[in-house]
Copies of this chain bind each other. A is one copy, B any other.
């Protein structure tokens, strides 16, 4: 805290509906939303967020990063772009709360780690399926309390609906980036990051090995960049995990 005032946040990148959970969550925690910026003014999510906060000024990314009164950047940009936004924000002296996945490549991860080390800022990922889903949060409490004994295996199933209206932000369909593997990072990075996080959390593991994984495109012949199936087998020092995700 710089002084005795609310943490001032700005949202950069309004492409995924998770921003609808992140911004109210930060406001509920005492933050103040002071600006938004997006690279896609046609994004249904951007329009939806601005309708919900009509008094919050729309600014450019550059203006937001240059504003020393802004403490923290929250982002739900296209997954490919999140790391770049976070790195720029940390270099501008701001902390970051990013939607999952926080990055889509190992190169981005390396740059994020280096930037955190250099700047001392924090870079935090909103794993909505750990923090925002009450049943999961409660399951995690129970599992970690020891009430069900030692957790030796977790099974995570993440079926997703392509036509899910909530995540479409009332748009007619998914945006183009949703069908480009490079943009969404592949189904395992995009969706399975939730269940990998839950595996680590539920089993008290610090890290895990990906023993085997598969992705596939079974039902989207016209979108070769899409993954509509994915699975991962995980193993840590003390537990096993399996995850299946699909669209």
Name A's B-contacting residues (CB within 8 A): 150, 152-153, 155, 157, 211-212, 214, 216, 218, 229, 231, 233, 235, 240, 242, 244
Closest to A211 in B: B212
Question: A244 with B242: in contact, given A152-B218, A212-B212 (CB under 8 Å)?
Answer: yes
Cα(A235)–Cα(B233), bound, Å: 13
- Count of this chain's copies in the oligomeric assembly: 2
Judging by beta carbons under 8 Å apart, are B231 and A240 in contact?
yes
Report A147 CB to chain B, min CB distance, Å.
16
Report A204 CB to chain B, min CB distance, Å.
15
Interface of A is mostly: strand
Interface pairs A-B: 7 shortest CB-CB: A211-B212, A212-B212, A233-B233, A242-B242, A152-B218, A212-B233, A214-B240
Question: Besides A150-B218, A155-B244, 6 other CB < 8 A contacts?
Answer: A152-B229, A155-B157, A214-B240, A231-B233, A233-B233, A242-B242
21 contacts between A and B (CB under 8 A): A150-B218, A152-B216, A152-B218, A152-B229, A153-B229, A153-B244, A155-B155, A155-B244, A211-B212, A211-B233, A212-B212, A212-B233, A214-B235, A214-B240, A231-B233, A231-B240, A231-B242, A233-B233, A233-B242, A242-B242, A242-B244
Cα(A240)–Cα(B212), bound, Å: 12
Q: Which residues of B contact A216 (CB under 8 A)?
A: 152
Q: Which residues of B contact A218 (CB under 8 A)?
A: 150, 152
Q: Which residues of B contact A214 (CB under 8 A)?
A: 235, 240
Cα(A212)–Cα(B212), bound, Å: 7
Closest to A233 in B: B233
Cα(A97)–Cα(B218), bound, Å: 39
Report A156 CB to chain B, min CB distance, Å.
11
